[in-house]
Amino acid sequence: MRQEGIIIVISAPSGAGKTTLCRELIKKCPDIKESVSYTTRSPREGEIDGLDYFFVSRDEFGAMIGNNAFAEWAEVHGNLYGTALDTLDEARRKGYDIILDIDCQGAMKLKEYFEGGIYIFILPPSMDELRRRLENRSSDSREVIERRIERAKDEIKEAKWYDYIIINDNIDAAFDELSAIILAQRRKTSRMLEKIVKLFEI
Amino acid sequence: MRQEGIIIVISAPSGAGKTTLCRELIKKCPDIKESVSYTTRSPREGEIDGLDYFFVSRDEFGAMIGNNAFAEWAEVHGNLYGTALDTLDEARRKGYDIILDIDCQGAMKLKEYFEGGIYIFILPPSMDELRRRLENRSSDSREVIERRIERAKDEIKEAKWYDYIIINDNIDAAFDELSAIILAQRRKTSRMLEKIVKLFEI
């Protein structure tokens, strides 16, 4: 039997640096794949269907909910986001590790549903620094920034039930910590047992 | 309250590279201390009392057993080895991480006694390679080598109940894995909670 892939769930308030960290991870670890979520929101410029998201209509999304096709789904700022069961089943079956960049609501649902994933929460070093980062993104209006900060305060409370917490003060250090958590998970005895039984005939 | 130090327990059959890995860890991570064991065996050339071991007589060791002074002790090749409770209590109280290089018997006793430590088993890539490594150590007689190999076969069976397994095929990769396991442990939510409660007033 092939060793099941690890399901790595990452959440963070907007501005904590999650997207950068996930991209870096995918780039440096070709054996980790990124889960592509379904969403009802419109594609932003440059986003590609099937690569960034599977863009579907609200009706299509509703039908998938009806068919129990989601491992988790959640509504964020009026848009629906979900991870298909098929995506996770395939990763497990084929034995590759998969990273899920999902919000706290989705992560909590997944934790109830799926056993054995690891849950990592990325935090900014402080609320002041989070505000600074959000303000430096010229793309967001003041109103959007205030909404994100209010939401961040709520999300940070959820960090408590995650398995690991990374404070992203420095992107290189945070990346090392994320990589270490995944490498450690791969060396857990439950994941190594099959290999050592073969090697040493124990 | 200060965060308790992590108790890192490392076991391996002779020839797996444990001593090299532990030395490297102590050298590169000055915030990790090495636990100094008590032993009844005679000091080898160059070994320093209080640094490599606390060298004591069999009577003194027996008295310490009588006083429940040991967190674990075991007899290996006719000599007694033990970790004092005081050593671990001090590390926990002062909040530094401590590494224990102990055999499977000792590790098993400790696991029963102490909660919250992490148990890491280092393996050679194969029995053939283990034999090669032991033969290349000019210091050991053929008889000693055979005894070590027989013992290694028994010890490897114990790997199953450790938390993590590292196969030391390449010393640099094995060191990275050991460091990753410790770094991941430091980022567990239970160890980060106090810090984030302070930072974000949650």
Q: Min CA distance, A117 vs chain B (Å)?
A: 14
The DSSP symbol for B160 reads: G
Inform me whether the C-beta atom of residue A162 falls under 8 Å from chain B C-beta atoms. yes
State mean pLDDT over A169-187.
97
Query: Is the separation of the CB atoms in B25 and B76 below 8 Å?
Result: no
3-state DSSP assignment of residue B102: coil
Tell me, what's the pLDDT at B1? 52
Query: What angle, rounded to 10 degrees, do the helices at B171-186 and A171-186 form?
Result: 110
Q: Is B199 in contact with A159 (Cβ distance < 8 A)?
A: no
CATH number 3.40.50.300 given to B7-35+96-200: yes
pTM over the 0.90 mark: yes
Among A165, A176, A178, A194, the strongest candidate for a mutation testing the B interface, having the largest count of B CBs within 10 A, is A165
Report pLDDT for A115.
80
Nearest residue in B to A198, CA atom: B126
Residue in chain A lying closest to B154 (CA): A202
Average pLDDT over residues A148-171: 95
Report the pLDDT averaged over residues B37-44.
Answer: 96
User: Once rounded to an integer, what is the mean pLDDT over residues B120-144?
Assistant: 90
User: Is A159 touching B (CB cutoff 8 A)?
Assistant: yes
Q: What is each CA distance from B103 to A62, A74, A184, B18, B122, in whole angstroms?
A: 57, 49, 22, 11, 11
Q: How many CB atoms lie within 10 A of CB A153?
A: 15
Average pLDDT over residues A142-157: 91
CATH of domain A7-200: 3.40.50.300
Q: Using a CB–CB cutoff of 8 Å, tell me whether A128 touches chain B.
A: no
CA distance A53 to chain B (A): 30
Q: Which of B165, B185, B198 to mutate to test the interface with A (most CBs of A within 10 A)?
A: B165
Residue of A nearest to B121 (CA): A189
DSSP state string for B24-53: HHHHH-TTEEEPPEEE-SPPPTT--BTTTE
Q: How does pLDDT run across B153-166, given as a tens digit for each residue?
A: 999 999 999 999 99
Q: Tell me the chain A residues in contact with residue B193 when contact means C-beta distances shorter than 8 Å.
A: 160, 165
8 Å CB contact of B196 and A127: no
Find the mean pLDDT for residues B35-47: 95
How many Å separate Cα B115 from the centre of its chain?
A: 16
DSSP letters for chain B = -PPPPPEEEEE--TTSSHHHHHHHHHHH-TTEEEPPEEE-SPPPTT--BTTTEEE--HHHHHHHHHTT-EEEEEEETTEEEEEEHHHHHHHHHHT-EEEEE--HHHHHHHHHH-SS-EEEEEE-S-HHHHHHHHHH-TTS-HHHHHHHHHHHHHHHHHGGGSSEEEE-SSHHHHHHHHHHHHHHHHTBHHHHHHHHHHHHT-
CA B88 to chain centre: 12
Region B86-105: what's the mean pLDDT? 92
Facing B165 at nearest CB: one of A125, A177, A192: A192
Q: Select the residue of B125, B157, B164 nearest A188 (Cβ to Cβ).
A: B164
Question: pLDDT exceeding 70 applies to what percent of chain A?
Answer: 99
Averaged pLDDT for residues B122-128: 96
Cβ of A202 within 8 Å of Cβ of B176? The answer is no
Q: Among candidates B172, B182, B192, B32, which has minimal Cα distance to A176? A: B182
Whether the per-residue pLDDT at A175 is higher than 80: the answer is: yes
Interface of A with B in 170-189 (CB under 8 A): 176-177, 179-181, 183-185, 187-189
How many angstroms separate the CA of residue A69 from the nearest CA in chain B?
Answer: 31
Residue B116 confidence class, pLDDT cut points 50, 70, 90 = confident
Give the residue-averaged pLDDT of B16-20.
Answer: 91
What is the arrangement of strands in the sheet containing B53-55, beginning at the earlier edge strand?
A: B53-55, B37-39, B79-84, B70-76
